[in-house]
Amino acid sequence: MPRYIAITDIHGELEKLSDLLSKIKTKPDDIFVFMGDYIDRGADSRGVVDRVIKQSETHKCIYLIGSHEYAMLHSKSDDYYQWLYDNYGGPATTRSYGGFDNIMKIHGDFYKNLKFYYLTDKYLFIHAGINPDRSLENQNEVDMVYIRGKFIYSKHNLPQKIIFGHTEFDKPFIRDDKIGIDLGCGKYKNAKLCGLILNEDGKEEFVYSN
């Protein structure tokens, strides 16, 4: 059984991502699950995407979509998502690519192929969460990248434990049925980036950037 290593909400903070990865003693069969929000706010969204892609040279990687990628991808066809992109850190992403059109020219395949969730026997990895009133097969795309309270403070009916980001906490949010690992990286200057290592024996290990 491989270990799963979950990382989410990097938000353009390449130095914190690099520091976090340097602290993880990897094994050859580790599977990295990057759970979205690679971009916006921090200074180097392009560098973050380059780095998570590079990780696939040594390990299997799963790349999920976050709310910020969702907004960016819909920004030119929907005024609401354009407003979100402009007001939640998008200009920093545009600068890191040297112009908005360069985003898709440089990393279009990456963004177009992001998945909404990754399911294993034990875990569901997802950016924001699920609507607990719906089956996994009937989830709404917007809920999967934007939902907060209804998911966080309600029990869900899946047999898997849900690993999620999107909503920041002062420390990992740990419940019997879910774990949230967004600590506000990119949003708050001193916030750390958190990695969650899910070991073969079920042990949960947290690793933090400086």
In a domain? residue 146? no
Q: Which two tokens stand for residue 60?
A: 């299997």
pLDDT value of residue 57 = 98
Please report whether residue 147 resides in a domain.
Answer: no
Residue 39 included in any domain: yes
Q: Is residue 138 part of a domain?
A: no
Residue 170: per-residue pLDDT: 96
- Report the chain (210 residues): mean pLDDT per 10 consecutive residues: 96 98 97 98 98 98 98 98 98 98 98 98 98 96 97 95 98 98 96 97 96
**Is residue 10, in this structure, part of any structural domain at all?**
yes
Q: Is residue 134 part of a domain?
A: no
pLDDT of residue 1: 82
Instruction: Classify residue 139: in a domain, yes or no.
Output: no
- CATH number of domain containing 101: 3.60.21.10
Q: Domain count of the chain?
A: 1
Question: What is the SS3 assignment for 101-143?
Answer: HHHHHHHHHHHHCCECEEECCCEEEECCCCCCCCCHHHCCHHH
Structural domain boundaries enclosing 70? 4-126+161-208
